[in-house]
Amino acid sequence: MDYVIETKDLTKRFGNFTAVDNISFAVGRGEIFGFLGANGAGKTTAMRMLCGLSRPTSGQGFVAGYDIFRQQEKIKRNIGYMSQKFSLYEDLQVWENMRLFGGIYGVKDSVIFSKIDETLEKLGLSSERNTLVKALPLGWKQKLAFSVAIFHEPQIVFLDEPTGGVDPVTRRQFWELIYEAASRGITIFVTTHYMDEAEYCHRVSIMVDGRIEALDTPHNLRQQFQATTMDEVFHRLARKAQRQGE
Amino acid sequence: MLKVLIQKEFKQIGRNSFIPKILFVMPLMVILVFPWAANQEITNIQVAIVDNDHSGFSRRLTDKIAASDYFRLSAISENHEVALSTMEDDNADVILEIERDFEKRLMTEGVANVMISVNGVNIIKGGLASNYMSSIVREFATELREENATSAIADVGLNLLPVARFNPFGDYKVFMIPALLVMLLTIICGFLPTINIVSEKEIGTIEQINVTPVKKSIFILSKLIPNWILGLLIMSVYLSLAALVYGLTPAGSLLTIYLFAVIYILVVSGLGLMISNYSSTMQQAMFTMFFFMIIMIMLSGLFTPIASMPRWAQTLTMFNPLRYFIEVMRMVYLKGSGVESLYKQMLALLTFVVVINFGAIRSYKKSG
């Protein structure tokens, strides 16, 4: 299989605290990979290392074929990232944010402008083209942030709890966007708290106290833990956790 | 890439409700209020005169003092004791006592005595009062000599007239206004980029930038260039106000001033950026910035002459970019100096630009 993310014994320590403890896994091209875990399990830290935002303490890792120790800037060229905290510019208009990030990734102006219209139409936000982002409701903002994260057609997009605080209908729409992106060959690496969302993933890993305790398809995991839902699987594993969440 | 980032900065500045206002209000405040508040010239000094002579000459001297802008005649006392009690009641800052036979001695011997007693409670006021008074007496002596070139008075008194060159009227405002521009630029161009980056940190947008392939130097430049343009704009507003309100224009070339400003703004913006890179919260950044500002302004020669600082403080001022730009501003405005006589300041400021901005780029970390 063609892997776009591969890690081996990846570890991150902050002083005496081991946030991420020897994790090894691989994600295939075009896969929707769910990265689950309780608060404080080390998901965000692991994701930040993969994105080149944080330097690992030890281990190995390759993202889009580049070393996460030495080629962070090359990785950044090939990924999209949507952080937990909403982070588009609130004082810029919808199209201005798209133009800004398109420009930063070196997308040509002519492409940017046709793509802005196309994307807004798809999101049903054409009428909000010139609205300041801060005036949008949260659900729209999240969809917009996702579209900006994949605007430059990255190989992989990292989503850190993208649907936090969003209503079920919008969450559903959000996952439609994710599927649409995956069908175009973009690999999706997503963390979430919602176990119904875990069912939408091709494969799922569950982190407990910095380690990956389970990794398989949702179907296989349910069988392995003799559970009827992913929720049950998660509870069995998360109960073992020693760490308290934030 | 740089282009879109700069466009973004300008759009944000344009939508900010605060920055465009500051652009005009700050220079206005600094130019309209500061030169008056920072004025160390002392007027309205109260004088008590003890005239023991009651002659034509003594009356003339009295009138001359009363006519001066600096002095206000508060009492004519019959003897020194009475005058002293006036001073004790705080109705006199200085006493001038004219000796008996003042006129007679001047006519015959060409020498006469006056005594100046000064209230030393406010040492600055007292010192200035005694200086002003001495120069009026000296002027009086010169007048007498010129009128009576043939008589004995021809040799009268001292002739130690101080001449304030380049600022012939000793106007404090002419001295302060060019230098206050430096303070204005330091505050605006130092604080704005600091606020800008730290607020991106607090909101979290900087993380979104850090995960893109934007080069550190490009990102820093995208913050520097708008700040640079703002700085030059504010400076133009300020210089126009100086010309409009006080009729003050540089004796030298405006071009020289702009050239130095272009360099100087890079120095302070770089400092602001560096501080913001080391701060994770707004409070932290602001406190650090204030710390640097106060020390830099105190050690710049803006309010107090560097030459009268102790040796160690003088050494410290050499590491203060404000000092050099203030020197440049005063020299260009008052003396009309050109770049060729300011190469030392130029060299110093260029060194600051390189060192500080190198530090700013180095300290900006895209990954932790």
The DSSP line for B44-75 is -EEEEEEESS-SHHHHHHHHHHHHSSSEEEEE
Q: State how far residue B353 is from chain A, nearest Cα, in angstroms.
A: 27
Non-local (6+) Cβ contacts of B17 within 8 A are none
pLDDT of residue B134: 81
Residue ranges of chain B with per-residue pLDDT less than 50: 152-156, 158-165
Is B202 touching A (CB cutoff 8 A)?
no
Q: What is the 3-state secondary structure (H, E, C) of B14-40?
A: HHCCCHHHHHHHHHHHHHHCHHHHCCC
pLDDT band, very low/low/confident/very high, at A102 (cuts 50, 70, 90): very high
The encoded tokens of residue A102 equal 């398109």
Is A58 touching B (CB cutoff 8 A)?
no
CA B272 to the chain's CA centroid: 23
Alpha carbons B203 and A73: distance in angstroms, whole number: 23
**Which helix H or strand E contains A197, and what residues bound it?**
helix A195-199
pLDDT band, very low/low/confident/very high, at A174 (cuts 50, 70, 90): very high
Alpha carbons A67 and A70: distance in angstroms, whole number: 6
Alpha carbons A152 and B72: distance in angstroms, whole number: 78
pLDDT of residue A244: 61
Count CB-CB contacts under 10 A for residue A243.
15
Q: State how far residue B200 is from chain A, nearest Cα, in angstroms.
A: 9
Non-local (6+) Cβ contacts of B273 within 8 A are B193, B194, B197, B220, B223, B224, B357, B360, B364
The encoded tokens of residue B337 equal 């100096």
**Which helix H or strand E contains B97, and what residues bound it?**
strand B94-98
The encoded tokens of residue B363 equal 């300290």
> Residue type for B195, please?
I
Is A13 touching B (CB cutoff 8 A)?
no
Domains and CATH numbers, chain A: 3-238 (3.40.50.300)
CATH architecture, domain B45-155: 3-Layer(aba) Sandwich (3.40)
Q: Round the CA-based radius of gyration of chain A to a whole number and report it.
A: 18
Res A36 pLDDT > 80: yes
Mutate to test the interface with A, among B202, B212, B366 (most CBs of A within 10 A): B212
Complex confidence, ipTM: 0.88
Q: What is the 3-state secondary structure (H, E, C) of A221-241?
A: HHHHCCCCCHHHHHHHHHCCC
Helical pair B343-363 and B254-278, crossing angle rounded to 10 deg:
30
**Environment class of residue B48 by beta-carbon count within 10 Å: exposed (0-12), middle (13-18) or buried (19+)?**
buried
Taken in order B69, B74, B77, B81, the sign of the CA dihedral is negative
Q: Angle at Cα B138 formed by Cα B133 and Cα B144, nearest 5°?
A: 130
pLDDT of residue B32: 87
Please state, for a pLDDT cut of 70, what percent of chain A lies above it. 98
Per the prediction, chain A carries an average pLDDT of 91
Alpha carbons B344 and B260: distance in angstroms, whole number: 12
Alpha carbons B41 and A144: distance in angstroms, whole number: 62
pLDDT of residue B166: 52
Hunting for tokens 């999240």 — which residue is that?
A142
CA B323 to the chain's CA centroid: 11
Report the candidate in A72, A23, A75 with the shortest Cα–Cα distance to residue A45. Answer: A23
> Where exactly does CATH 3.40.1710.10 map onto chain B?
45-155
Interchain proximity A76–B11, CB inside 8 Å: no
Hunting for tokens 């030298």 — which residue is that?
B252
Hunting for tokens 């699987």 — which residue is that?
A233
- The pTM (predicted TM-score) of the whole model is 0.78
pLDDT tens, residue by residue, B265-300: 999 999 999 999 999 899 999 999 999 999 999 999
pLDDT of residue B317: 93
Q: Do residues B58 and B103 make contact, with C-beta atoms less than 8 angstroms apart?
A: yes
Taken in order B249, B253, B254, B259, the sign of the CA dihedral is negative
pLDDT tens, residue by residue, A193-211: 888 899 999 999 999 999 9
Interchain proximity B208–A88, CB inside 8 Å: yes
Residues of B in contact with A100 (CB under 8 A): 4-5, 7-8
Report the candidate in B95, B115, B81 with the shortest Cα–Cα distance to residue B45. Answer: B95
Which of B203, B212, B367 is the closest to A104 by Cβ? B212
Interchain proximity B211–A101, CB inside 8 Å: no
pLDDT tens, residue by residue, B325-353: 999 999 999 888 888 889 999 999 999 99
Is B3 touching A (CB cutoff 8 A)?
yes
Is B362 touching A (CB cutoff 8 A)?
no
Q: Angle at Cα A157 formed by Cα B3 and Cα A26, nearest 5°?
A: 140
Count CB-CB contacts under 10 A for residue A114.
10
